[in-house]
Structure 1
């Protein structure tokens, strides 16, 4: 029985699309197979998380699930609604309804593309401020170098697939709330190409791709923030037998900085101001991400007074603008005084009587 996607992602029924996205990203990172190599339980958990996200991230699938529930006891209809019967089939929900209401959907033959891949990277605040490029290492299916992605052993033929008769697809039955219907799916034997190697490649077993480590350059826009996601087109997993690769998605996490606190596009920091400068006023140098900035402190500046440095914050992505930098003046009271300083302070106190 399929598990409730809301339970899998730890969500309430009224969760917003952003809640769904945040829960998925957090759990997929936690249970990613790369972190639990050889752990079958973690692998199954990761599959459950992806299946749940597939339903809840699609407004139409989510609406259907909320209305009809899950197979074997969902709400709305006896027996509920089973998404698993056509998950992975090329047509999806839209063609399922087309099949029922308008005759069998016209089949769409296509080759078996690769898969999207995800990974996360951490940036310092300075790196997020400056942007640039980051080279990342990942393990992914890449085109087999022995057969150049064809899946065929050298000097052997590519023949018509006997599993699908060259159509690139096979039909199968789906048990749905409408009853038993037939639906077309990509032929697994040939990956939708309609042809297959006469003799599979010795290196990749006929798949046309192999797992290998790869270096990918990720372009990081200045001003990027935690929770944002970058897409690197064509750098996901390669497709079977020369089919196109999908995309790589990179989730960003910006580390806390010991000197600055980020607040959206603004920056906040604390500057220690000498008591004498607070009393008499002074020009002080404040360190920002843009470099040192001279700030005029008026005489009689009070503890906690905040100075705003316009345009000295983080870049605003997609524009030439920057946020602001807010400086909290923390007045430092000396713990020890020289004899001369003490004498002056005592004279000052006497003057105030």
Structure 2
């Protein structure tokens, strides 16, 4: 009977993951083949190699939370310290899960708890695709459309996606009897259980062509460069993603196509700063316009607008242009445009200008 894995690592049951890791590192260094050269005792070297193998097997199970939980509950088998009694479940050997066969453990549970069904569902659908387009801020205001050229798997023209040669039928898969799955048996701590996996002949569809299409070799799809039109809605924001259903790769033998995900990148406009659905910009006016008032032509995402500057405008004062911002996505609402006004103070004055300002200062209380 295999030794208890905790005993192999010199630990008590309930040891923490950190304790397990420390014990493994210490023992693997101590028992490593390099520590036992061929010039030493042959028996000592063989014993060290066996211990080294046991340590690795123990760590493979105890370092994996799922495997550790099952081992803690059932041990190596129903009669090996699992507390289930001697006549319960069949024996189950964890040691074969080390090394290259580690995937068998997860395969076992996927098959037992319905993983085969999920695998089939993935098989029936074409692969999703992703791409990115860059648009200007002006396009966000109006919305529009873009034509994309994509290299992808599309339905075969010759067989119309069925995978069958024209005139041939699509028949039920003889391997899986049309279920898309085959059953295999596996030994577990529950004894012998049956696992359902995707049929390799029909790849989960349950159907196969009587004669394969000569163009696509029965796949029902071929790789081709084709065009897709992307409708860009007004008000979309940088970083958002559009989903185009059925515009991904074609499914095998006429099954559901995948989707196309288009990531939107909005190019920055040096004139404007976008703040959610509002736009912010700045403008500089002469000091006399701030004092006396004036009118200012302001560029907005919707075209030029005249802004009335009232007398006594202060540096940094913000003015609101209602309804001149960005459209709110999927609504009829529109944001606003906020203009921050900076006042330009002259660094030098002419004699006449100085005379005027000095006279103004004398008039001030």
TM-score category (smaller protein): 0.5 to 0.7
* Residue-by-residue CA offset, 1:315-339 (whole Å, 9 max, x unaligned): 1112211122111112234567677
Retained in 1: the 8 A contact 2:120–2:204? Answer: no
Tell me: CA distance 1:145–1:108, structure 2 relative to 1, closer, same or farther (3 Å): closer
The DSSP-based 3-state class of the residue aligned with 2:68 is coil
Q: Does 1:124 align with 2:136?
A: yes
Separation in 2, partners of 1:245, 1:176: 38
SS in 1 for 2:124: coil
**Residue 93 of structure 2 aligns with which residue?**
none
Give the secondary structure class of the aligned counterpart of 1:127: helix
Q: Deviations over 1:107-165 (max 9, x none)?
A: 98897221222222222111122212222221211001122212123344434423323
Matched with 1:283 is 295
Question: Which of 234, 238, 241 is 1:222 aligned to?
Answer: 234
State the match for 1:78 in structure 2: 68
Cα distance in structure 1, aligned partners of 2:278 and 2:187: 54
Return closer, same or farther for 1:110/1:309 CA change in 2, 3 Å cut-off.
closer
Any stretches of 5+ residues in structure 2 without a counterpart? 1-59, 72-96
For residues 295 and 178 of structure 1, the distance between their equivalents in structure 2, rounded to whole angstroms, comes to: 80
Task: Say whether residues 1:192 and 2:204 are aligned partners.
Answer: yes
* Whole-angstrom distance in 2 between the partners of 1:190 and 1:298: 77
Whose helix fraction is larger, Structure 1's or Structure 2's?
2
For residue 126 of structure 1, give the secondary structure of its aligned residue in structure 2.
helix
Secondary structure in 2 aligned to 1:78? Answer: helix
Q: Does 1:316 align with 2:306?
A: no
Moved more, 119-128 or 256-265: 119-128
**How many pairs are equivalent?**
277
Counterparts of 2:259 and 2:231, CA distance in 1: 14
Q: Are 1:144 and 1:208, in contact at CA under 8 Å, matched by a contact in 2? A: yes
Which one is further off, 332-341 or 306-315? 332-341
Please tell me whether the aligned partners of residues 236 and 245 of structure 1 are also in contact (alpha carbons under 8 angstroms): yes
- Mapping 1:81-92, distance limit 5 Å: none
Is 1:251 the counterpart of 2:241 in the alignment? no
From 218, 221, 224, the equivalent of 1:212 is 224
Judging changes above 3 Å, is the alpha-carbon distance between structure 1 residues 175 and 212 closer, same or farther for their aligned structure 2 residues? farther
In the alignment, structure 1 segments of 5+ residues that lack a partner are 1-69
Shift of 1:198: 3.2
**Aligned equivalents of 2:350, 2:188: Cα separation in 1:** 88
Partners of 1:174 and 1:338 in 2: CA distance? 98
Spell out, residue by residue over 1:280-315, the C-alpha distance to the aligned partner (whole angstroms, 9 max, x if none).
101222221122222221112122111122222111
Residue in structure 2 matched with residue 328 of structure 1 by the alignment: 340
Query: Structure 1-normalised TM-score?
Result: 0.65
Larger gyration radius, structure 1 or structure 2: 2
Q: What is the distance in 1 between the residues matched to 2:218 and 2:179?
A: 19
Q: TM-score, normalised by structure 2?
A: 0.63
Structure 1 CA distance for aligned equivalents of residues 297 and 189 of structure 2:
71
- What CA distance in whole angstroms lies between the structure 1 residues aligned with 2:311 and 2:106? 70
